[in-house]
Amino acid sequence: MNLPIFHPNASLDRLAWATCLALGQLHRHVSAMLNILSGFIGLVTLILMIPAVLPLLGALNWILVPMALFGAFIGLMSSKKGGQYFCLIVAAFGALRLFMGGGII
């Protein structure tokens, strides 16, 4: 990669450019990782919601819906929104289950 040179002795400028480029790459990687983390939280929450569909285990959704919303919050900080939307769908499914069970069952 060739970095722009503004004057003949531009080692400091090259370092500044390299730092800026590295931080930009780091930001993109962290943002992508937050999306993956959000999707993983949503997937774990969805798997844990399977037993919560059974009668008398619906109260488990009181723990799982906030967990899915936390995953959506993590996805909110990402540049991609797939994980965030997945977590919101999982949270909506758990909230619907709570609503149908009267909040307890």
Tokens of 19: 């730092």
pLDDT of residue 37: 93
pLDDT of residue 89: 96
| Burial status of residue 89 (CB atoms within 10 A of its CB: 0-12, 13-18, 19 or more) | middle
Establish if 21 belongs to a structural domain.
no
Minimal CA–CA distance to 72: which of 94, 99, 96? Answer: 94
Establish if 47 belongs to a structural domain.
yes
- Tens of pLDDT, residue by residue over 73-95, are 999 988 888 999 999 999 999 99
Tokens of 63: 């723990």
pLDDT tens string for the chain (105 positions)? Answer: 555 555 555 555 566 555 655 556 656 667 788 899 999 999 999 999 999 888 888 889 999 999 999 999 999 988 888 999 999 999 999 999 889 888 776
Establish if 78 belongs to a structural domain.
yes
Tokens of 28: 């993109």
Establish if 4 belongs to a structural domain.
no
- Whether 45 and 72 have beta carbons less than 8 Å apart is answered as no
Establish if 67 belongs to a structural domain.
yes
Establish if 96 belongs to a structural domain.
yes
Distance CA 31, CA 18 (A): 20
**CA 7 to chain centroid:** 43
Establish if 36 belongs to a structural domain.
yes
Distance CA 61, CA 48 (A): 9
Establish if 81 belongs to a structural domain.
yes
**Number of folded domains in the chain?**
1
